[in-house]
């Protein structure tokens, strides 16, 4: 290697995003002429609703083509502040809101703003794949609470208690959860909150990006628990509920001192997010939710379909998601079996087997901190779901041993 070609230790020590990697492998197989069904990437298969696109077109015509304030257009921050009150019983003023290029950037801002090397972040597993590396980017240490299907992949208060140390800086989780689809209910969250009630040095980072794809009666925000009000950062975004992944818009509501730190770092790295996208997003938040509700109803039907189909596969233990658009079956009973003499030892081997033989892309659970499971995104048509499950069943039935 030439001496000029030296990558930083930071990047050398970082894992590639497993979701994006699987999506790339699926794309490559497809380019090689295979009929691949990709259920790997967590992305709505719907297009952004027309009324939001129209608002963006109008914003362009109206001259929203310039830099915006670093934390976002005041109009959008006001709309987000109203949304937090309306939907979440959360009280964040516009000075407590920072809009970023996706919730991914919001999380990176938080990590870089709040953490020092040696700090610990408790991550409830299975966790979204990027949490781990985003925390490590700051030099802090991810402390993983492992859960399994028998507890619906939700951490218990006793587990949280056991993970706390004097170095704990914040707790990070998503609900509805990517990758499991589990939802932490109000009582689940109150029980977890009680554990840290008196640890006023500990913050909570609640990623609620799947809020609008919640099949339970009501989404509950942990920040609405009065004693956590000044200690909770609520992360959200437009990618999932509004099918706006490519628009790159996420946001936080946070204590003002946290918001200020995030603005400082964002001001040096990217500045304000896209101007006309922000304008359309402000409109989306206040417009009727019919399109999002329709998408949610469709995801719910697909969830029933995929649960039914996967349940018919011997060796797959299927969980019962109540939100997002993922299912996270436990395939550990299939590990140790062989296909054409090749042993399948891990969920990674299993995912590679399903991709290469059945031409269905899924993501290994280990990427989310949970061995022996796979994540399947059902943000796909009924026909794709039916065909994918048929192929998975066919190949699982070929396993021996
Ligand atoms: N959090 C979770 C739990 C996610 O699934 C995603 C999806 N990529 C994100 C954050 C980031 O979303 P985005 O950057 O598209 O807003
Ligand atoms: N959140 C999605 C997923 O988990 C999008 C891909 C990514 O950003 O990692 O698949």
Per-residue pLDDT tens over the stretch 162-193: 999 999 999 999 999 999 999 999 999 999 99
Mutation to probe ligand 2, out of 100, 178, 243, 375 (largest number of atoms < 8 A from CB): 178
**pLDDT tier at 16, thresholds 50, 70, 90:** confident
Q: Note the ligand closest to the C-alpha atom of 130.
A: 2
Is 21 or 159 the better-scoring residue by pLDDT?
159
Ligand nearest to the CA of 377: 2
- Write phi, then psi, for 86 (nearest 5 degrees): -65, -45
Residue 1 has pLDDT above 70, yes or no: no
For the segment 10-36, the average pLDDT, to the nearest whole number, is 90
Mean pLDDT of the chain: 97
222 pLDDT exceeds 90? Answer: yes
Q: Give pLDDT, residue 17.
A: 86
Position 2 scores a pLDDT of: 67
Q: Which ligand is nearest to the CA of 41?
A: 2
CB of 102 shorter than 6 A to ligand 1 = yes
Going from the Cα of 76 to the center of ligand 1, the distance in angstroms, rounded, reads 19
Q: Do 272 and 99 contact (CB within 8 A), yes or no?
A: yes
Q: What is the pLDDT of residue 22?
A: 87
Atom of ligand 1 nearest to the CA of 324: 5
Please report, for the chain, the start and end positions of each structural domain, with discontinuous segments joined by +.
3-47+291-396, 50-286
User: What is the percentage of the chain residues whose pLDDT exceeds 70?
Assistant: 100
Between 9-13, 257-261, 263-267, the lowest mean confidence (pLDDT) is in: 9-13
Segment 340-364, tens digit of pLDDT: 999 999 999 999 999 999 999 999 9
Q: Is 42 in the pocket of ligand 1 (CB under 6 A)?
A: yes
pLDDT, residue 364, reads: 96
Find, among 353, 351, 362, 352, the residue nearest to 385 by Cα. 362
pLDDT tens digits for 97-122?
999 999 999 999 999 999 999 999 99
CA of 401 to the centre of ligand 1 (A): 39
Any ligand 1 atom below 6 A from CB of 128: yes
Can you give the pLDDT at residue 162? 98
Q: How confident is the model at residue 23 (pLDDT cuts 50, 70, 90)?
A: confident
Phi, psi of 348 (to 5 degrees): -70, -45
Quickly state the pLDDT bin for 135 (edges 50, 70, 90): very high
**What is the reported pLDDT for 260?**
98
CA of 235 relative to ligand 1 center, distance in Å: 10
Could you list the beta-strand ranges (E) of 212-333.
232-237, 250-253, 326-327
Domains 3-47+291-396 and 50-286 share a fold: no
Whether 239 shows a pLDDT value over 90: the answer reads yes
Q: What is the pTM of this model?
A: 0.97
Tokens found for residue 281: 């997003």
Q: What is the mean pLDDT of residues 146-173?
A: 98
| Sign for the pseudo-dihedral over CA of 264, 270, 276, 279 | negative
* pLDDT exceeds cutoff 80 at 337: yes
**Which among 285, 359, 320, 299 has a CA at the least distance from the CA of 22?**
359
What ligand 2 atom has the least distance to the C-alpha of 17?
A: 9
Instruction: Indicate which residue's Cα is closest to atom 9 of ligand 2.
Output: 19
245 lines ligand 1 (CB under 6 A): yes
In this structure, the strands spanning 120-124 and 141-145 are: parallel
CATH of domain 50-286: 3.40.640.10
Q: What is the pLDDT of residue 15?
A: 86
Determine the atom of ligand 2 nearest the C-alpha atom of 41.
10
Q: What pLDDT was estimated at residue 198?
A: 98
- Which residues, 6 or more positions from 305, have their beta carbon under 8 angstroms from its beta carbon? 378, 382, 385, 386
CA 209–ligand 1 middle distance (angstroms): 7
The verdict on domain 3-47+291-396 having CATH code 3.30.590.10 is no
pLDDT above 80 for 394: yes
Cβ–ligand 1 distance for 104 under 6 Å, the answer yes
The pLDDT score that the predictor gives to residue 19 is 86
Pocket of ligand 2 (CB under 6 A): 17, 19-20, 41-43, 128-130, 178
């Amino acid at each position: 290697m030439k001496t000029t070609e030296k990558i930083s230790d930071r990047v050398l020590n970082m894992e590639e995003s497993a979701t994006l990697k699987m999506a790339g492998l699926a794309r490559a197989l497809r380019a090689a002429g295979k009929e691949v069904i990709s259920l790997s990437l967590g992305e709505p298969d719907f297009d952004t609703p027309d009324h939001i696109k129209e608002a963006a077109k109008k914003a362009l015509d109206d001259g929203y083509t310039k830099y915006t304030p670093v934390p976002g257009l005041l109009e959008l921050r006001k709309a987000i502040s109203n949304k937090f009150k309306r939907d979440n019983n959360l009280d964040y003023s516009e000075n407590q809101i920072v809009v970023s290029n996706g919730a991914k950037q919001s999380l990176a801002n938080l990590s870089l703003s709040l953490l020092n090397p040696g700090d610990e972040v408790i991550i409830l597993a299975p966790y979204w794949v990027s949490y781990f590396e985003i925390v490590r980017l700051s030099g802090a240490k991810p402390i993983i609470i492992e859960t399994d299907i028998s507890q619906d992949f939700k951490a218990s208060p006793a587990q949280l208690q056991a993970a706390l140390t004097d170095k704990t800086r914040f707790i990070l989780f998503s609900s509805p959860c990517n990758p499991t689809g589990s939802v932490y209910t109000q009582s689940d969250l109150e029980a977890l909150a009680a554990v840290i009630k008196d640890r006023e040095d500990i913050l909570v980072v609640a990623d609620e990006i799947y809020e609008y794809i919640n099949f339970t009666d009501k989404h509950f925000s942990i920040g609405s628990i009065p004693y956590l009000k000044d200690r909770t950062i609520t992360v959200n975004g437009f990618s999932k509920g509004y099918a706006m992944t490519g628009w790159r818009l996420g946001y936080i509501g946070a204590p003002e001192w946290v918001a200020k730190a995030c603005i400082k770092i964002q001001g040096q790295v990217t500045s304000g997010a896209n101007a006309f996208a922000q304008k359309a997003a402000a409109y989306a938040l206040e417009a009727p939710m019919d399109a999002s509700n329709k998408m949610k109803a469709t995801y719910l039907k697909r969830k029933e379909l995929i649960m039914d189909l996967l349940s018919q596969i011997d060796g797959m233990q299927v969980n019962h998601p109540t939100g997002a658009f993922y299912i996270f079956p436990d395939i550990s009973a299939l590990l140790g079996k062989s296909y054409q003499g090749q042993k399948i030892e891990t969920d990674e081997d299993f995912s590679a087997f399903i991709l290469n033989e059945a031409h269905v892309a899924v993501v290994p659970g280990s990427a989310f901190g949970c061995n022996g499971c796979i994540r399947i995104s059902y943000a796909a048509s009924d026909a794709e779901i039916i065909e994918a499950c048929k192929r998975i069943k066919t190949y699982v039935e070929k396993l021996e041993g």
